[in-house]
Structure 1
Amino acid sequence: MVVLAVSSLKGGVGKTTVTLGLASAALARGVPTLVVDLDPQADATTGLDVAARRDATVADVLANPRRGEIARAVAPSGWAGDQPGVLDVMLGSEASVDHDHTSRPRAMRALATALGKLAGYDLVLVDCPPSLGGLTRTGLVASDRALVVSEPAIFSVAAADRALRAVDALRRSDAPQLQPLGIVVNRFRERSPEHRYRLEELTTLFGPLVLRPTLPDRSAVQQSQGATTPVHRWTGHGGPELAAAFDSHLDRVLRAGASRRQARRPD
């Protein structure tokens, strides 16, 4: 199981969109996946069309990471036809904001403790809030890789730099297993001189950490999300292009998981 934190220290860049795109790619490929919705806005839970009611959410898991509480907080996505274990969601809740101010080591490891008790998933996607509070730190501490989402804009470039610095700081302290997967540039328009300039700026600053392909700015994103449908099932304009881009990024995530397993394998 590889755990990927999808993060950004700036709101509105499409962090949840990237989480949903990767979940769509995993579903299309048959990779058993759990999405952990750490963002108090719970947009990933909504986007994944969770119909089942649950007595608990991720907030309860962070407070009490026991197997029973975990089972109560996980529900199947409607994308998978409500079949448990195919694409599941640890439900988001605005109540999780109560955990955003924690700095106690035990609390910071609550999600890692919970994920250590799960079986049956090959991939866990952690949708972090757009800030560096306790929730994002908890998500990063539980993860093997961190994917930073950025837009090709000046403030997003600065936020990407802060996010990578935060990953490096956690790697040196509470999360020695954590490595940056890279920066994915969202809503990119090839014809925009500003977008091309900012992509070049990101590449100059971060080199190979800037991942290709970029994610193009297409209306298929909003349309598929409005229909609570995986982008891989959206046949309208832009859908196949976006699906191919997310497939490429999923390949990178799964390769990172395979290399991690090989590194841990005894001689």
Structure 2
Amino acid sequence: MTSPEEVLSVYSETGGATKTTTAVSLAVASALEGEDTVYIDLDPRAAGTKWFDVEPRERGLDVAAILADPDPDGWAEDIAVPARWRQVPNLRVVPSGRTLSNRETSTEELSDIRLAVSLRGLKARRVVIDCPNRQGGPLIQNAMTASTKVLYAGKFDEDGLDGVEGAYKSVRRFKKHREMLGATDRLTEAGIVIGAWGDTVPTRDAKRAEQEFINAYGNLLLEPYVPHRVIVKESRAAGQYYGFYSKGQPVHQAYGALARKVFA
């Protein structure tokens, strides 16, 4: 039984760091390249699920069901639903669910591998996981164990710095834990994507934050930076993809360029 070739987790430990925008945008970019792609909403806030405006095939058939079952072998293929955006036919979504937050306190044996097990047989070359903004814990452990790559999402402000720093440390704790267990660790860092970039007149604080990112993470910082456009927020509220509109093209093109780097 096959599994996806690339599984990318998008991670930040603060809210409002463009994490969901980055995860959704990269999933769309991948699908528009002709790759069968699945977006997994692992965030209890379900922001991505709301943006896609999708519902489970049946009540309770969502990502929470995968993490609640001791043997969810192949479930992702059964639970994934088509994205409603007809312009992106190669994209499916595993929606979040109300009970997902209950899994954050799980202490069941081997509960950290359930998401990975569910991906067996998934008919998709790529998977993008939208992680919760949490420090470690069962949800993050599931994401990291299932993934081949982790991508940090940030902005050039203090919250963006804090979110990437926390996620960066959590990834290192995860990798150290896997090493201590003698377990396979295939997780690599894809880089840091900067969203909501004030490309017209960057503020002094944004320039300071940019320098701090460069000093702390060097080559992990990816370009291009993704420009801020109001159409992104408006499109999310309307359940549409901003790239369908001319005003959203600068953002869409930036994420397209980043997707080619991240999925290389």
Q: Which residue of 1 aligns with 2:185?
A: 176
1:137-176 alignment runs, 5 A limit: 137-174=141-178, 176=185
Q: CA deviation at 1:57?
A: 0.9
| 1:233 aligned to which of 228, 240, 244 | 244
Say yes or no: does 1:57 pair with 2:57.
no
Q: AA paired with 1:173? A: H
Say yes or no: does 1:209 pair with 2:220.
yes
3-state SS of paired residue (1:149): strand
Q: AA paired with 1:211? A: L
Q: CA deviation at 1:24?
A: 2.0
Mapped partners of 2:143, 2:92: distance in 1: 17
| 1:243 aligned to which of 245, 249, 252 | 252
Q: Which residue of 2 aligns with 1:128?
A: 131
Q: AA paired with 2:205? A: E
Q: AA paired with 1:222? A: K
1:17-56 alignment runs, 5 A limit: 17-50=21-54, 53-55=57-59, 56=61
Contact residue 36 and residue 58 of structure 1 kept, 8 A: yes
3-state SS of paired residue (1:156): helix
Q: Which residue of 2 aligns with 1:261?
A: none
| 2:118 aligned to which of 114, 139, 146 | 114
TM-score (norm 1): 0.86
3-state SS of paired residue (1:187): coil
Say yes or no: does 1:187 pair with 2:196.
yes
CA-to-partner distance for each residue in 1:234-259, whole Å, 9 max, x for gaps?
Answer: 22x2x11111111111112221xxxx
CA-to-partner distance for each residue in 1:25-75, whole Å, 9 max, x for gaps?
Answer: 123222111111111111111212325632311111112243574444221
Mapped partners of 2:76, 2:216: distance in 1: 40
* Cα distance change of structure 1 residues 67 and 170 upon mapping to structure 2, 3 Å threshold: closer
Contact residue 8 and residue 150 of structure 2 kept, 8 A: yes
Q: CA deviation at 1:103?
A: 4.8
Q: Which residue of 2 aligns with 1:265?
A: none
| 1:6 aligned to which of 10, 19, 22 | 10
Mapped partners of 2:152, 2:99: distance in 1: 25
3-state SS of paired residue (1:62): helix
* Cα distance change of structure 1 residues 171 and 97 upon mapping to structure 2, 3 Å threshold: same
Mapped partners of 1:154, 1:106: distance in 2: 36
* Cα distance change of structure 1 residues 49 and 119 upon mapping to structure 2, 3 Å threshold: same
* Cα distance change of structure 1 residues 71 and 119 upon mapping to structure 2, 3 Å threshold: closer
Contact residue 32 and residue 88 of structure 2 kept, 8 A: no
3-state SS of paired residue (1:173): helix
* Cα distance change of structure 1 residues 253 and 141 upon mapping to structure 2, 3 Å threshold: same
Q: Which residue of 2 aligns with 1:260?
A: none
Q: Which residue of 2 aligns with 1:77?
A: 83
Contact residue 80 and residue 87 of structure 1 kept, 8 A: no
- Unmatched runs of 5 consecutive residues or more in structure 1: 256-267
Contact residue 27 and residue 80 of structure 1 kept, 8 A: no
Q: AA paired with 1:204? A: N
Paired residues, number? 250
- Unmatched runs of 5 consecutive residues or more in structure 2: 179-183
| 1:90 aligned to which of 90, 94, 97 | 94
Mapped partners of 1:68, 1:47: distance in 2: 25
Q: CA deviation at 1:177?
A: 0.9
Alignment RMSD (CA, Å) = 2.0
